[in-house]
Structure 1
Amino acid sequence: MTVQPPNTIGIDFGTTNTVVALTDANGHARLVTFNTSEGQSATFRSALSFQFHASIDGEPPERVVEAGPWAIDAFVEDPLETRFIQSFKTFAASAAFTETRIDNKRYRFEDLLAAFLLRLSHHAGDGMANLPPRVVVGRPVTFAGGNPDEALALQRYQEAFGRLGFTDIRYAHEPVGAAFYFARLLKEDATVLVADFGGGTSDFSIIRFERTGDALRSTPLARSGVGVAGDAFDYRIIDQLVSPELGKGGQYQALNKHLPIPQRYYSAFARWDQLALLRASRDMRDIRALARTALEPEKIERLIEILDDNHGHALYRAVSALKMALSKDETADFVFAAGDVRIEKPVARSDFEGWIAPELAAIEGAVDEALAKADLAPDAIDRVFLTGGTSFVPAVRAIFQRRFQADRIETGGEFESIAAGLALIGLEPDLDLWSEKAV
């Protein structure tokens, strides 16, 4: 069967998941799906695995690279021999990250992203056959990190996406993609605030949509963003519940003195990609030495096991499970069990909200910034569209409920809205109004 080439493709490369959408000759967007071991899925986990198989019968050693759910499967099957990396989007704009070495091979960010995209394309099969020259790639309003270099991130994206054969690579802000998706549901003119909550960033756009006959005219009014979202919430949970059980806040003995255990060992838990990198860093030697001098050596031994045995993914799942539970219930149990490490604690939603108070304040400030840039009062916003997994957190939803009437707030398309909207942007006659090219 001949596969009809799509007109445009939209790719939402997210911190946690990646979603791909294609447009057809009728101007409709459809999602690319993947046949995984757990069934068909339109979301593809933003993860990579590297396995190095020793030579057999004189054959050269083999490096096996996988991505998405296949990377997770490889890691679960052989965690000790697998380098597992997730959430690597968070250092796209970091000039401090130049490379990581895996099996003595140098990988820059663009190498990691290109490897990920090539495996994603492979697993999509016919779904990504005969790709068009134009791709619209989602980008956050503000990249994650303390001092993000936007130009550097787009240069890295440009090289990685170019390796797939795209010749017309454009970038659009992720909430703008979500807005285009949401606009299909509008029956009348409306000023819309779109809030997109990803793993690494929270982004906001205000857009005016007006109907002219059968056409929908749209005008961007303002945008804002902040480099905190779901991953930052994860870190607060780990910092409160896990790190103290791994030695944070403890002491070790040196030269007849009790000294504090360095905090930098635990800062890696702020980003899932850094947790994988810590295992291969020089700090591991010092952490192993601490197990002999720490006043509570059993806690350091837990830390070593988590790093050595690649328990980061199990920890990620435990944290995600707690967040989901607290979105529904006032209390929930945190349960992390991997190898010989087991940590269980009850958590109240009010405690969790106290832990993430700094992030909530930053998100709230970005919402107000978007309104100020558009010179609009909250009651001038006709519709509010929330998308992304973190939008389910009650304290996040409360930010909007305090500002806007409940009947104006909608949610949906948590995973597909951005990719579908990006693909639709690729059909716009005035592309420069909605997207940009890397300089």
Structure 2
Amino acid sequence: MSETFLAIDFGTSNSLVGAYHKGQRVEALALDPKAADPTLLRTLLYFPHADLCYYGAEAIEQYIEQDMEGRLFRSFKSHLPNQAYLGTVISNRILTLENMVGIFLLELKKRAEKALGTSIENAVIGRPARYAMDDVAHGFALHRMQKAAQFAGFKNVQFVPEPLAAAFDYRRDLTQEKLVLIGDFGGGTSDFTLIRMRPENFRHEDVLAIDGCPLAGDALDSVFMSHRLNEYFGAKSRYRLPLSDNVLSMPYAVTQRLNHPAHIVHLKEKDTYEFIREVKKSSITEKDKAAIERLFVLIEDQQIFPFFEHIEKTKRDLSENANSNFKFNYPGIEVYEGFSQTQFLEWSQNTREKIFEGLDRCLSSAGVTSEQVDLVCLTGGTAKVGFIREELEKRFGRERLQTQSHFHSVLSGLVESAKFWSEGLKVIE
């Protein structure tokens, strides 16, 4: 087996790569020279046409430079457990989801090989505690990731739960045994590991429970669309088809795509796009028609990505402030709305409950109460959301909460997992 073991934190929003190379830890590699943090490669694919793809910061740069023509994909990792989502078509090229993920992993592999000066066949790849609540869907997602890793050229792969990797990162600085809860809050999933950690060697029986929920930052972004902003783009538009007296409203399948950052790009696919055209022709009022025209501007002028970036900014603002003004100024899509922290909390209630149900399951399956946990280590960008912190403080107390490096903690633990592998130890049996 090769001397090099790559560690890949393939995230919904950002991806990082490290390695265990020739007996040495290699922390986050600088893979994206155009990014503010070169170790963070945004999980983006931009196809100006079917035969060319850009990644990370360059994807955004080229997308803007080429007048936002072509297809920009974000949050595509979140489709993995969805058996109904097969992929997409760019011009006449069929691009399966496995190939889409594989193309991105291959780019990570190429950049890492260039940085390390060697070919790489072995990879430790982080995975959520749960891709989906349904076991079959979770297994399907993992199978897809295995196929994507093969597509990328990896011959030997281990998938390590991301919160367990974060636990390994914390363990390196430990001086005495502790019962630790790791909470990893990312873009697509919220994951938990309860682990008994000691400074000496890792043992499988130390991992008491792993659980989670396939909802996190993207789900919180989507509440702004589903509760208010989607009305600007025809979610409540009414129409009447020719030769019919029935008044219809925009179908649920369309509004669901509209609400989610990972799904909205697929409104551009031919059948859906033509259907929306028919809805516009059959709109009952000028207001209904204007809303759908706004949707066409959003899609045709490639404003989906910047619009959701504004939503992300609003979410961050409301984590610190009582109110936030949403302003999106683009010809044909002038949207001005005020949001409050109270609204955000109310709209996010279902997502919040599901996230903390995952935490409760983790504690319950280990037979542990919140009082018995010595430390709570938080990682991932969504850990900064105000009500996430407040709920954790209520359950565990502020003094037991510790925030790790938001983006590098999981990767550091994956590098540690790669080290274990090089020594003949599998982290997950």
Q: TM-score, normalised on structure 1?
A: 0.89
Aligned runs of 1:99-110 on 2, under 5 Å? 99-110=87-98
Q: Aligned AA for 1:98? A: L
Q: 1:266 aligned to 2:255?
A: yes
**SS of aligned partner of 1:354:** helix
CA distance in 2, matches of 1:189, 1:45: 36
Q: Which stretch shifts more, 201-210 or 123-132?
A: 123-132
Call closer, same or farther: CA 1:82–1:224 in 2, change over 3 Å: same
Shift in Å, 1:125:
6.5
Q: Which stretch shifts more, 191-200 or 29-38?
A: 29-38
Shift in Å, 1:10:
1.0
2:184 maps to what in 1? 196
1:431 maps to what in 2? 425
Check whether the contact 2:129–2:210 (CA below 8 A) recurs between aligned residues: yes
Aligned runs of 1:25-424 on 2, under 5 Å? 25=22, 27-52=24-49, 63-123=51-111, 126-144=114-132, 149-212=137-200, 215=201, 219-254=206-241, 255-294=244-283, 295=285, 296=287, 297-424=289-416
Q: Which stretch shifts more, 334-343 or 64-73?
A: 334-343
Check whether the contact 1:140–1:174 (CA below 8 A) recurs between aligned residues: yes
1:55 maps to what in 2? none
Call closer, same or farther: CA 1:153–1:178 in 2, change over 3 Å: same
CA distance in 2, matches of 1:252, 1:39: 46
Call closer, same or farther: CA 1:266–1:128 in 2, change over 3 Å: farther
Shift in Å, 1:159:
2.6
Call closer, same or farther: CA 1:132–1:260 in 2, change over 3 Å: closer
**SS of aligned partner of 2:85:** coil
Call closer, same or farther: CA 1:379–1:27 in 2, change over 3 Å: farther
Q: 1:13 aligned to 2:10?
A: yes
CA distance in 1, matches of 2:246, 2:229: 26
Shift in Å, 1:29:
4.2
**SS of aligned partner of 1:36:** coil
Q: CA RMSD in A?
A: 2.2
Q: Which stretch shifts more, 360-369 or 90-99?
A: 90-99
User: Per-residue CA shift, 1:389-415, capped at 9, x if unaligned?
Assistant: 111011111221111021110112111
**SS of aligned partner of 1:152:** helix
Check whether the contact 2:184–2:379 (CA below 8 A) recurs between aligned residues: yes
Shift in Å, 1:65:
1.1
Q: Aligned AA for 2:27? A: R
CA distance in 2, matches of 1:70, 1:401: 39
**SS of aligned partner of 2:396:** coil
User: Per-residue CA shift, 1:37-59, capped at 9, x if unaligned?
Assistant: 3445211111111122xxxxxxx
User: Per-residue CA shift, 1:324-359, capped at 9, x if unaligned?
Assistant: 111121111112233420211111111101100000
Q: Aligned AA for 1:323? A: K
CA distance in 2, matches of 1:394, 1:51: 38
Q: Which stretch shifts more, 66-75 or 357-366?
A: 66-75
Check whether the contact 1:74–1:82 (CA below 8 A) recurs between aligned residues: no
Shift in Å, 1:375:
0.5
Shift in Å, 1:260:
2.1
CA distance in 1, matches of 2:150, 2:298: 37
Shift in Å, 1:148:
5.7
User: Per-residue CA shift, 1:187-226, capped at 9, x if unaligned?
Assistant: 22111100111111111000101234xx566710001111
Check whether the contact 1:87–1:271 (CA below 8 A) recurs between aligned residues: no
CA distance in 1, matches of 2:279, 2:26: 55
CA distance in 2, matches of 1:405, 1:288: 54
CA distance in 2, matches of 1:385, 1:9: 25
Shift in Å, 1:128:
4.7
Q: Aligned AA for 1:75? A: Y
Q: Which stretch shifts more, 280-289 or 129-138?
A: 129-138
Shift in Å, 1:150:
2.8
Check whether the contact 1:306–1:312 (CA below 8 A) recurs between aligned residues: yes
CA distance in 1, matches of 2:124, 2:108: 16
CA distance in 1, matches of 2:115, 2:399: 38
Q: Which stretch shifts more, 219-228 or 36-45?
A: 36-45
**SS of aligned partner of 1:97:** coil
User: Per-residue CA shift, 1:141-168, capped at 9, x if unaligned?
Assistant: 1114878623332232223222443222
Call closer, same or farther: CA 1:431–1:237 in 2, change over 3 Å: farther
CA distance in 1, matches of 2:33, 2:199: 41
Q: Aligned AA for 1:142? A: R
Shift in Å, 1:67:
1.6
**SS of aligned partner of 2:262:** helix
Check whether the contact 1:121–1:128 (CA below 8 A) recurs between aligned residues: no
Q: TM-score, normalised on structure 2?
A: 0.91
Number of aligned residues: 420
CA distance in 2, matches of 1:29, 1:190: 27
Q: Aligned AA for 2:337? A: K
